[in-house]
Structure 1
Amino acid sequence: MKKWLLLTIISALALVLAACGGGESEGEAQSSEEYTAENPFIIKFSHVTAIESVKGQAADKFAQLVDEKTEGKVKVEVYPSSQLYGDNDELDALASGNVHMIAPSVTKMVKIDPRWQYVDMPYLFESDEHVQAFFDSEIAQSLMNSDALAANDIKGLAFWPNGFKHFSNNKHPLVTVDDYKGLKFRAQAGQVLEAQFETLGAGSATIAFGETYAALQQGTVDGAENPYNNFDTMKFYEVQPYLSTTQHGRVDYAIFVNKSFWESIPADLLAPVEEALAEATTYAQELAAEENAKSLENVKASGVVEVYEMTQEERDALKEALQPVYEEFEETITPELIEGINALR
């Protein structure tokens, strides 16, 4: 909290100094004459997943569209697979302006606003259509445009879907609630996820996404939770012989930019950049379902993973077992957000 308070103070001072700069700064933000294909305006876009992932493909699509629509005057430099920043430090890098654009799993935003843990609430969403209805809703936009983000010089621009999470492990098939007891799972940071595993009688460890394969391989943790596409493209199937189609939660992404940087893009270049992002977002939405289905088939065809197809009754039993998570975190996520999402079913 002290760290984020410091960033907030720094951001506020930066805004004051920018205001004191007067018209020169404003004029620079509105002029694009100095930028050419040989001397482009650079946007650094960092993410943590593989190039072949849904996020990786959508990021590259965005870069391609920006190049086309600005005739090379704006260049998006995409850094995949934690090449520039890992998922434990990319948010700090964005707030400080060391990177301009990120696409984190939305639960990472808990550092700024605990409501973003909505995505970790078990069985809150029932289908991809339900998720998209939320992305398009006013309640989702209120999260994107929150005072908490603005105070940290961050602006939310778009949601990119990834998919429903499913549990995997290296010990045995996960069918009943008792099967989770005693296992240790890799988890993203957040109290909701810690409570989820505790409720199941399992342990958890917060491990950066780029370090997850090694942690699974070395036995630091026994299992993980991922959409099919992450499980496939990160090759987790090589170290996780059991996968159950639990569909218990979501991993979705959102595009965040450094607000001061974004507002410095010349107006006549910003318009095609935002148009490119809108098209890349549509591309990501269409790609997610397709790639997850393809990845599930790849995993089944690998011959090294036992995929257990959960019945609805078995999912309902898991959902019932996880209800204490709602009792503990409804006030944190807020009843308004949870009820708003439920109303979109």
Structure 2
Amino acid sequence: MMFYFKKDHKSLTLFMVITLIMALALAGCSSSSNSSNSGNAATAVDGGEKKADPIIVKFSHVTTIDSPKGLASEKFKELAEKYTDGRVTVEVYPSSQLYGDKEELEAVQAGNVHIIAPSITKLVGMNPQFQYVDLPFLFKDNDAVYKFWESDANKKLMNSLDNYGVRLLAMWPNGFKQFVNGKYPLVTPADFKGLKFRVQAGSVLEAQFKALGAGSATIPFGETYTALQQGTVDATENTFNNIDTQKYAEVQKHLTVSNHGRLDYCIIVNTKFWDGLPGDIREALEKAMAEATDYAVELAEDLDQKSFENLKNAGMEVVELNEAQRAEFVKIMEPVVAEFESVIGKDIIDAARAANQ
């Protein structure tokens, strides 16, 4: 653009004003251009879009990190984060850090935590058929348990929780339960008379100890050590590994190897959270859970036997029931199984017994 002016004072002043305006305009264009270039550089650095925050999955359980459940949950965390390329972060909270076994089921239903791994017995309020795990002397060995888990009867049972806002993803083993007490060796059913046992909630367990002439009290898992130490209860039942990792040998000196019942876990997820995940994320987590379950099965038996050795080395007095002694307990417990057949279901009991073949 050309500006024509007369060489007088007024014209010179006008020229200076116009020159200043043009300079400011050019400076503004330069600033805008620089700003635009800066934005493009930032976009290039960020790869064109901001990386999304990872999905947080809170996994709460009540046992120690070195228990089968604790180690398997850490394996799930490792695999979940690997298979989702970091798009998921699993936060594992062991040892009742978030919720105890009284509160965790309500917490997962409310969505306050996403995954829990309670004892199967904890599900009896939703479906009393899950009490099969407490029936005394139902399974002869670990292989029978795993075979039952693959049965149609158990798969139907696993799919029975949809109306409660949760889904059962997997079963993780811990092992067979044994008796421990702080007074004297338990060798015959008569030895149980008058003792008070800590138990999980459940009618089958109450009936089991009633058949033995013993009392029972429902006490949270995390409070059991203190209850045994203070004499609130005389005894309890649990797996070798839980007895070991919970340090019950410090307050209980007598261990009876009976293999009378099971303590296994069910991996439960909040249904709304699970169904709301992107499909590829859910598939990756299902893969991680399947592999963590295989790991849990391999791990449980190994840790249980190592814990058995630890308990013997800790000075516990061990009684291993022979076949004749075990048969005496089985006979006394037969009415308990018969009592709960109508509640648990003959099809489930038959499938469990068939798994023993």
**Distance in 1 (alpha carbons) for counterparts of 2:241 and 2:309:** 10
The 5 A counterparts of 1:173-188 are 173-188=185-200
Q: Which ranges of 4 or more aligned residues in structure 1 deviate by more than 3 Å?
A: none
CA RMSD of superposed structures (Å): 1.2
**Distance in 2 (alpha carbons) for counterparts of 1:175 and 1:197:** 15
Q: TM-score, normalised by structure 1?
A: 0.88
**Distance in 1 (alpha carbons) for counterparts of 2:148 and 2:195:** 33
Q: Does 1:170 align with 2:182?
A: yes
Q: Which residue of 2 aligns with 1:155?
A: 167
**Distance in 2 (alpha carbons) for counterparts of 1:336 and 1:269:** 36
The 5 A counterparts of 1:292-311 are 292-303=304-315, 305-311=316-322
Contact 1:35 1:73 in 2 (8 A): no
The 3-state SS of whatever aligns with 1:162 is strand
Displacement after TM superposition at 1:35 (Å): 9.7
Consecutive unaligned residues in structure 1, runs of 5 or more: 1-33
Displacement after TM superposition at 1:327 (Å): 2.3
Q: Does 1:326 align with 2:340?
A: no
2:81 is aligned, of 54, 63, 67, to 67
Letter in 2 for 1:138: D
**Distance in 2 (alpha carbons) for counterparts of 1:157 and 1:141:** 11
Letter in 2 for 1:81: S
Question: Would the alpha carbon gap of residues 131 and 249 (structure 1) be closer, same or farther in structure 2, given more than 3 Å must change?
Answer: same
The 3-state SS of whatever aligns with 1:43 is strand
Q: Does 1:315 align with 2:326?
A: yes
Q: For residues 179-236 of structure 1, what are the alpha-carbon distances to aligned partners after superposition, in whole Å with 9 as ceiling and x for unaligned? A: 0000000000010000001110000000000000000000000000001000001111
Letter in 1 for 2:241: N
Question: Would the alpha carbon gap of residues 263 and 172 (structure 1) be closer, same or farther in structure 2, given more than 3 Å must change?
Answer: same
Letter in 1 for 2:333: L
Contact 1:159 1:281 in 2 (8 A): yes
The 3-state SS of whatever aligns with 2:92 is strand
The 5 A counterparts of 1:140-151 are 140-146=154-160, 149-151=161-163
Q: Which is greater in Rg?
A: 2
The 3-state SS of whatever aligns with 1:132 is helix
Q: Does 1:101 align with 2:121?
A: no
Q: Which residue of 2 aligns with 1:286?
A: 298
**Distance in 1 (alpha carbons) for counterparts of 2:188 and 2:355:** 29
Q: For residues 10-37 of structure 1, what are the alpha-carbon distances to aligned partners after superposition, in whole Å with 9 as ceiling and x for unaligned? A: xxxxxxxxxxxxxxxxxxxxxxxx995x
The 5 A counterparts of 1:23-102 are 39-102=53-116
Q: Which residue of 2 aligns with 1:275?
A: 287
Displacement after TM superposition at 1:272 (Å): 1.1
Q: TM-score, normalised by structure 2?
A: 0.85
The 3-state SS of whatever aligns with 2:73 is helix
Deviates more, 1:185-194 or 1:320-329: 320-329
Q: Does 1:113 align with 2:124?
A: no
Identical columns (%): 54
**Distance in 1 (alpha carbons) for counterparts of 2:118 and 2:78:** 20
The 3-state SS of whatever aligns with 2:89 is strand
Consecutive unaligned residues in structure 2, runs of 5 or more: 1-48
1:195 is aligned, of 171, 183, 207, to 207
